[in-house]
Chain A
Amino acid sequence: MSRPSSRRSRPAILALASGALVLVPFSLGAQVQVPYERLVAAKSEPHHWLTYSGSYFSERFSELDQIHRGNVADLRVEWVYQTSPGLVEATPLVVDGVMYLTEPPSTVAALDARTGRRIWRWDANVPDSTLNIGGPRVNRGVALLDGTVYVTTLDARLVALDAESGALRWSTVVADNSLGYWMSGAPLAIDGKVVVGISGAEAGIRGFLDAYDARTGQRAWRTYTVPAPGEPGSDTWGGDSWQHGGGSTWLTGSYDPELNLVYWGTGNPGPDWNGDVRPGDNLYTAALIALDADTGALRWHFQFTPHDTHDWDATEIPVLVDLEWQGRMRELVVMANRNAFYYVLDRRTGEFLHGQEYSKQTWAAGLDASGRPIVLPDTEPTYEGNLVWPSLQGATNWFSPSYSPVTEMLYVPVRHMGAVYYKSDSEYVPGRPYLGGGEQALAGDDAWGYVKALDVRTGDLLWEHRLLTPPWSGVMATAGGLVFGSSNEGNLFALDAETGEPLWDFQAGAPGRSNPMSFELDGRQRVVIPAGNSVFTLSLPAR
């Protein structure tokens, strides 16, 4: 984990809890220091929450167990923070007593994690004219590295702020918003770099994944998710359709420091629902890509939905797990995909190991030996309309799953919902929607939701907890044997991680639309679940 100090300006020495001495920048007098080594070893400090998904492996699992099955019924609100108006889809980070979260559309706030009182706030002041075709004006959170907070903005900038004061260090334009590029995802900070994805497939962008020098904001590499003519995979695009081929990268990926690979899901091809103009498999859309973290070079890819015509982005969180697999330890990456199938891959090679349906779907007879879907006839969108499960929002969506190494279950919020898919003609015009159709989802009493517990090796259903409507919020499992989540109807809840039995719920009065996280301060575990514009921080009564 040592690096040449020449990469750093103003190096200083900081003693870590482990006793190791490492070189870090910006540390003269600084209170906030999250060097790369702390991010790698995030599991060793479960009282903090250092990355969007809690760790580079993206388990969204808290090792804290002070709140457990036996006392969760006593959980109560400790403090509430009110954000600016808009939809809150952010996961806060907490380190050394400070909470960093984002507010809609592109605002960062630092709070006293003990009381919720604000320390500083920075607003990107994105223009009202900013285009966000294909999704709402949200932001899902920040990344921390050394003494800097990184955030993406709706108008497609990557911004670095001083973690102590919120002062702007640098701001880099990632892409041209007037062409439909925009950003909402939390960055992924790795060793000296900040990796960010892009949105805009609904406007016919050509997707990519970028890495920027954490210190200067200079771009380190860019890897397009849609190959240009002559590049590998370009034969999966007819004509010049690749130019507007989509493949957004709008959520946050995972990272294996040992393999030095970044894992990132890619979104739908463009236009969404009319595939006639883009014959072929449309690589590398609706896929998982593994990139060399130093160069951005594509090491392997696995496409879940070749030639997608239902907007089934594969941007869902790839969860990295090390497990015994058929008699030997293997490094795996698993994903509950928007297309209603669950996948287990070898994360060194991308080899397909196993996959099966985890939610109702009517578009594929199953997966073949290579993991490719066996697509059923007459399941594409039509001009007249065609009922297919799942809906365009998928069997799951941006909100996070959670993996518990204790139960070896993957907990997935599931949208049990079908839709009538329509196709229409679509012409690419810069900065305008490029969709080629739409859907009419089944709703009301005809759709509902679940939290499902899947056997992480097989995807077999071990339990399910029904929700009134298809959820828009993630889950977090804890070492206390609990799974936390929230519902559209304002229920914050805790389930028994082994059985799914509901053990606690609280009516928050506004829809849950975020991912839970947990931290410990002053010896007390807190669970954070936003609902509406309120960020609820929950704990047990003081003894």
Chain B
Amino acid sequence: MESRARHRRERRGPGAAGLLVAMLASGPALGAAQQTASADELARGRMHYVASCARCHGVNGGGGEGPPLARATLPRAPDDETLMALMNLGIPGTAMTPSRWLSDEELRLVARYVRSLAPATAQGGVSTGDPGRGRALYERGRCASCHTVGGFGTGRGPDLTSVGARRGPDYLREAVLDPAAALPRGLTAMPRDFVDYLVVRVVDGSGREVIGARLNEDSYTIQLKDVRGQVHSFDKLELRSLEKQYDRSLMRSYRDTFTAAEVDDLVSYLMTLTGPDVRLVS
């Protein structure tokens, strides 16, 4: 329970009001909307957002009945135009209702506000290292034995092809030094808002112990992947024990492997990974 509380604090961060104050106070220093949205526009956008969107998406965009919007990229809305159209028309077949009461100008303000909700993990910090050296460290550290970039590597952990667009340097530094403190969300098949790659230890009916990262779970079954990539599926009712280890990660810390300068180099390299680099094979 304590580890749950820790995750909760991390996720909520400074809270919606605190976040808003920080954004308004620091004006154009934060967020994807920084080049275009003034503090006044953000405040007006927030007012309409709270009235029309927050009931499902959460006051600070953290999600609720609807998916979280406080993220670096919105899967259904890569740009403001698409986001505005989506708000205007709704998403057929889902609980997303058309917001037909909002004018075009109000839709634009809400879109900019939603963009400004991109989490600190996508924004915080600076990387001052050398990306070229970082790439060599990525290879030396055998990162590709668990991660993929541009289709190369092993998909045991998260794909890093666009990690530089989704995360910020501070988050990535923490992920390298203290992986359990930076477990991602929304990358696996788990329901949204659950931490991904949660380490789970089970003992089955025959006494066999399996430790793996959670791939998925429902009320009666759980799916794990062990460090060798083997998938295990269990009926919970048949297990002797099931223990969720919120303070662990299957990824080891590189604190004792790399110097601080080397970690900076690695983070700088990861920040260059900003999108798919699909190789066409003819």
Complex Cα distance A86/B92, Å?
A: 7
Of the candidates A86, A385, A445, the one whose C-beta lies within 8 Å of that of B59 is A385
Q: Identify which of residues 27-64 in chain B touch chain A, using a CB-to-CB cut-off of 8 Å.
A: 47, 50-52, 54-55, 58-60, 62-64
Q: Is the CB of A491 within 8 A of B218?
A: yes
Given contacts A420-B15, A489-B191, contact A437 B218 (CB under 8 A): no
Given contacts A85-B92, A86-B92, contact A438 B219 (CB under 8 A): no
A433-457: CB near B (< 8 Å → 1, else 0) gives 1010111111111100000000000
Of the candidates A440, A469, A489, the one whose C-beta lies within 8 Å of that of B58 is A440
Whole-angstrom distance from the CB of A328 to the nearest CB of chain B?
Answer: 41
Given contacts A444-B193, A445-B195, contact A438 B17 (CB under 8 A): no
Residues from chain A with a CB closer than 8 A to the CB of B47 are 424
Is A305 an interface position by the 8 A CB rule?
A: no
Is B16 an interface position by the 8 A CB rule?
A: yes
Q: Is the CB of B93 within 8 A of A85?
A: yes
Q: Is the CB of B15 within 8 A of A433?
A: no
Is B217 an interface position by the 8 A CB rule?
A: yes
Whole-angstrom distance from the CB of A200 to the nearest CB of chain B?
Answer: 13
**Interface footprint category on A:** 35 or more
Q: Is the CB of B17 within 8 A of A383?
A: yes
Residues from chain B with a CB closer than 8 A to the CB of A134 are 55
Q: Is the CB of B64 within 8 A of A505?
A: no
Q: Is the CB of A446 within 8 A of B4?
A: yes
Residues from chain A with a CB closer than 8 A to the CB of B220 are 491, 493, 502, 505
Given contacts A435-B51, A487-B218, contact A87 B94 (CB under 8 A): yes
Q: Is the CB of B98 within 8 A of A445?
A: no
Given contacts A440-B58, A490-B218, A493-B220, contact A422 B193 (CB under 8 A): no
Q: Identify which of residues 139-182 in chain B touch chain A, using a CB-to-CB cut-off of 8 Å.
A: none
**Interface footprint category on B:** 35 or more
Q: Is the CB of A422 within 8 A of B63?
A: no
Residues from chain B with a CB closer than 8 A to the CB of A440 are 12, 16, 58-60, 62, 64
Complex Cα distance A134/B56, Å?
A: 9
B1-37: CB near A (< 8 Å → 1, else 0) gives 0001001100110011100000000000000000000
Q: Is the CB of B63 within 8 A of A136?
A: no
Residues from chain A with a CB closer than 8 A to the CB of B193 are 443-444
Is A128 an interface position by the 8 A CB rule?
A: yes
Residues from chain B with a CB closer than 8 A to the CB of A87 are 94-95
Is A66 an interface position by the 8 A CB rule?
A: no
Q: Is the CB of A438 within 8 A of B218?
A: no
B93-104: CB near A (< 8 Å → 1, else 0) gives 111011011000
Given contacts A432-B101, A489-B218, contact A422 B8 (CB under 8 A): no
Complex Cα distance A491/B97, Å?
A: 27
Complex Cα distance A78/B16, Å?
A: 49
Q: Is the CB of A131 within 8 A of B101?
A: yes
Complex Cα distance A131/B60, Å?
A: 25
Of B8, B191, B198, B220, most buried by chain A (CB within 10 Å of CB) is B220
Residues from chain B with a CB closer than 8 A to the CB of A441 are 58, 63-65
Complex Cα distance A468/B219, Å?
A: 5
Q: Identify which of residues 86-103 in chain A touch chain B, using a CB-to-CB cut-off of 8 Å.
A: 86-87
Is B136 an interface position by the 8 A CB rule?
A: no
Whole-angstrom distance from the CB of B110 to the nearest CB of chain A?
Answer: 12
Of the candidates B15, B64, B185, the one whose C-beta lies within 8 Å of that of A385 is B15
Of the candidates A129, A393, A419, A493, the one whose C-beta lies within 8 Å of that of B100 is A129
Interchain Cβ contacts under 8 Å between A and B, 30 examples: A86-B93, A86-B94, A87-B94, A131-B100, A131-B101, A136-B94, A137-B97, A385-B16, A392-B55, A393-B65, A424-B51, A432-B101, A433-B51, A433-B52, A435-B50, A437-B59, A438-B50, A438-B54, A439-B54, A440-B12, A440-B16, A440-B59, A441-B58, A441-B64, A441-B65, A445-B7, A445-B195, A468-B218, A488-B191, A490-B218
